[in-house]
Chains A and B, each alone.
Chain A
Amino acid sequence: MIALVLLAVSAALALGIGVKARSGHVMGLEQWTVGGRGFGAALVFLLLAGEIYTTFTFLGASGYAYGLGAPAYYILAYGTLAYIVSYFMLPAVWNYARTHKLVSQPDFFAQKYGSPALGVLVALVGVIALVPYLVLQFTGLGVIVVAASYGAVSKAAAVLIGAAVVTFYVIISGVRGSAWVSIIKDILIIAVVLFLGLYLPAHYEGGVGAMFQAVDKAKPGFLAFADHGKSVSWFVSTVLLTAFGFFMWPHSFGACYTARNAGVFRKNAIFLPLYQLVLCLVFFVGFTAVLVVPGLKGAATNMALLKIVVTAFPPWVVGIVGATGVLTALVPGSLIMMTAATLFSRNIVAVFRPGQSDDQTVRLAKFLVPVVALIAVYFTIAGSSTIVALLLMGYSFVTQLFPALLCSLMARNPVTRQGAFAGIAVGVAAVVYFTVSNETLATLFPDWPETIRDLNIGTVAVLLNILVMAGVSAATATSRRAVPAE
């Protein structure tokens, strides 16, 4: 009971801050979505770092370490490399977005390639990719409420309650609220993870080193990559796919518009890699759980962290950990819902309805928020995936935008708008096919060498994307309208 009360208090607190943060700012389109482009280094840092400390890392990373072992390390590697990419990419994106007063990611593609149709496609890809990402946050919320109620609340009810809170939060708050709640969330989660990551291995195994020795003894090879399946080749391809896709998420891309100047990104690229080292401690919790609460399989591995906390601590500690978890789902969940709704309203509907005013766009977006929530709730309750698998599915989609974006930043873009459109369309179609048919390279080409068979299927879709983009661009190059150099 005390645990559930603490969850409710944290949600109420977040709502209060969200309301407070909006006061003094008229919530027009630019305020609601990009905070009026007035965020300094600290707030942008937190919005971009919001990606690091979400339900994904808290429950997903610990669960992945628990369920699969070494493959979880990829999470530490891809974030680091993504920030390196951001150093070179985001200042250019920010600069162009500011010059052209862009609000969203599809705006950028539409403007760069002079093609509203490309903007609609990019918006669609974004909305599709955001659904598994939102499902992931709701899955996390559900797991937390179920654990904190000690099973008294069912999964479906827990997901519904969580979704309702996030929906309410988004409608009243906007991006400013998210930035401020991010601060509290990050402080709480770092404190909780530091404590759990050091205390649990020490308490059960006598220390981190001893804990790893014990895991290695219990499951030989678990702490290095397997020879088949999630092998080194999977690791390399997955890290590349996700590192390049990191800032292709419409909400991360959009969050970079909130910066006051471009230098913000360069400085952040030095510190963000270190900031995510706390992830190591999340792994420690997951690996300790292997020894203490063994037996969880498949989607149940999402429960690993909470299960060991429930086993090790009294209810009020479970409440604090759960409350932290609620915030880690609330902030990104709200950003995702806001982004998906705005994309749909502004970059899809408005394109087909000329003359739609900004007020109408915001009103439609706010109306769409609960719709998006309900769709995600449906998939959350119907589905049973690990949190990491859901995120990787989203990444397969968003990374399809990277090749066209990268080329558009070149002084002389070799890619035509037809090439960009065809490449993205083929890449996304390939991901949909692989996802629906459950095919991987291993099932398609059982005779090919292990190194190729284990490649992340998303990277294959990106390769197809690049090939088509290059081919179509070459074929349409002569009909290309000269795009002015930026």
Chain B
Amino acid sequence: MKLIGLLAVIPFIGMFAGPIFHNSVTPFIFGLPFILAWIVAWVFIASGTMAVIYFLDPARTAPEEGL
């Protein structure tokens, strides 16, 4: 795990920031209550983050290596 692994911390912070700073039903986003919409958005961002990490990860080309 190299420095790019730190990117993986972002979804953790993001996922929690919404409920912590704006724990509210409104505004509704695309019909969803705010907190649910926030979490769904971060599911997408998490997936994107992992894709970025995957393509930058040197371990990808050396799959037999451990941590």
Contacts and interface: CB of A to CB of B under 8 A. Distances in A.
A75 to B, nearest CB: 10
Interface stretch (A32-40, A84-92, A353-361, A427-435): A84-92
B39 A212 contact: no
A83 interface: yes
Interface string A67-96: 000100100110011011001100110011
Contacts of B65: 95
Interface residue SS majority, chain B = helix
A84 B33 contact: no
A422 B25 CA distance: 44
B39 A77 contact: yes
Interface residues of B, number: 40
A410 interface: yes
B35 A269 contact: no
A266 B57 contact: yes
Contacts of B16: 235-236, 239
Contact of B39 (A76, A92, A269): A76
Nearest to A409: B67
A280 to B, nearest CB: 6
Nearest to A98: B64
Contacts of B43: 76, 80, 273-274, 276-277
Contacts of B47: 80, 270-271, 273-274
Interface of B: 1, 5, 8, 11-12, 15-16, 19-20, 23-25, 28, 30-36, 39-40, 42-44, 46-47, 49-51, 53-54, 57, 59-60, 63-67
| A-B interface, 8 closest residue pairs, ranked by CB to CB distance from nearest | A209-B31, A223-B33, A92-B67, A92-B66, A263-B63, A223-B25, A273-B47, A270-B50
Given A232-B23, A263-B63, 6 more contacts: A76-B36, A84-B11, A84-B50, A222-B25, A262-B64, A270-B51
